[in-house]
Structure 1
């Protein structure tokens, strides 16, 4: 049994229940991934994600409900529109599959390793936002306010639920401070070197800092550092390989997201190893 503060989490005592939760999360993730395809296409263009209904980009025919089943419909249609036969990008089922795997992985990791199942909704939301923002940043080199800014109140509420459920209220205070720290650190970087990243990255740093702060100070420092490090290494590699110059702009958001998730998953053992090596533990 996994003990979290004063809360005993018994989900891991029942493999059947855990397996059901992971599978259900994966199926839910497939549905969310289908919606994310709409978000990634429409939000950067300032379009509604609700209306009009999805349609074939080639002939404009509305997508039938039976052709809107994640992954399966694409496979049955062999990646083509039912009406005009126009190829449908394989990116659609890939996004759906990636989201399903991400949701299943989050639930499995939390139920088996902790810290508390109450944090699952916050992490699932962050996973969905991470996928959408990564794809949008790669496509148009922007991190839309329409996604980033609402994430502040949504994640704060979800993390407040996690703190209430686990009885760990100091974690919520760390989350608030982490949001400020992430925003402030990246704002300073933009002011010092404006060509290095955009203000969208600053706002995203606050969102990621909130979640990392909830996990702990070690996760906050490691996650923000890894995001900056990964982006810097890729930038240098592009220059070294002759694919660009020091002025070449690269989407920085994806590396920030990867750094944050690495910290969520591995900050505890990394920080523990560092403290032991430095003689502080």
Structure 2
């Protein structure tokens, strides 16, 4: 089952698209502000978490609406994540960069292996999530793949195997859900698994 279209052509946005995306950006900012008290003791985690959530909501909405994850959000987001890392804990920057590279690299392998199934926007979003989450990006990716697989099974159950295998859907929202779950509970899960 493919996650996105392979034609490279974007669906034109609906007339309500810009208003919906602006509302999504506002919602992302509100959600990010609401989550920030969870990281009151750790300024670096708080700033990276707020940045990530503020970007994930509009990115997920754009991916659902147009089947694209825009570079104009992931590029500046990655630069901001690295700047936050440099400003708050320069010693942790190599681990931060490694997490971003590993997450992006994993999805790059999937995109190369099956170009009609994974887009480069997903690769860049995974890298951004890795830069913001660090090692807990592993939890985020696992949850994203499980959620997408369950969604695929539900589509096949509803439409049948042949139709379900031809169905495409954006992967960005699943990455967003996995990232938020990892932001909230990724470290305890990672500690439990490694412990």
Give 2:156's aligned residue.
Answer: 239
159, 179, 195: which one aligns with 2:85? 159
Structure 1's unaligned 5+ residue stretches are 1-43, 46-56, 58-86, 276-280
Matched, 1:102 2:31: yes
Matches within 5 A, 1:62-73: none
* Alignment coverage as a number of residue pairs: 181
Aligned equivalent of 1:145, options 71, 76, 88 = 71
Runs of 4+ off more than 4 Å: 89-94
**1:163 Cα deviation from its structure 2 partner:** 1.3
TM-score by length of 2: 0.80
* Root mean square deviation of aligned Cα: 2.8
CA distance in 2, matches of 1:220, 1:197: 18
Contact 1:195 1:247 in 2 (8 A): no
Which residue number in structure 2 is paired with residue 183 of structure 1? 104
State the shift of 1:118 in Å: 3.6
With structure 1 as the length reference, what TM-score do the two structures score?
A: 0.57
Q: Report which of the two has the higher share of helix.
A: 2
Larger radius of gyration: 1
Please say if residues 209 and 224 of structure 1, whose CA atoms lie closer than 8 Å, have aligned partners that are also in contact. no
C-alpha change, 1:211 and 1:96, in structure 2 (3 Å) is closer
In structure 2, the partner of 1:226 is 143
Higher relative contact order (CA 8 A, sep 6+): 2
Q: Name stretches of at least 5 consecutive residues in structure 2 with no aligned partner.
A: 1-10
Counterpart-to-counterpart distance in 2, 1:236 and 1:186:
21
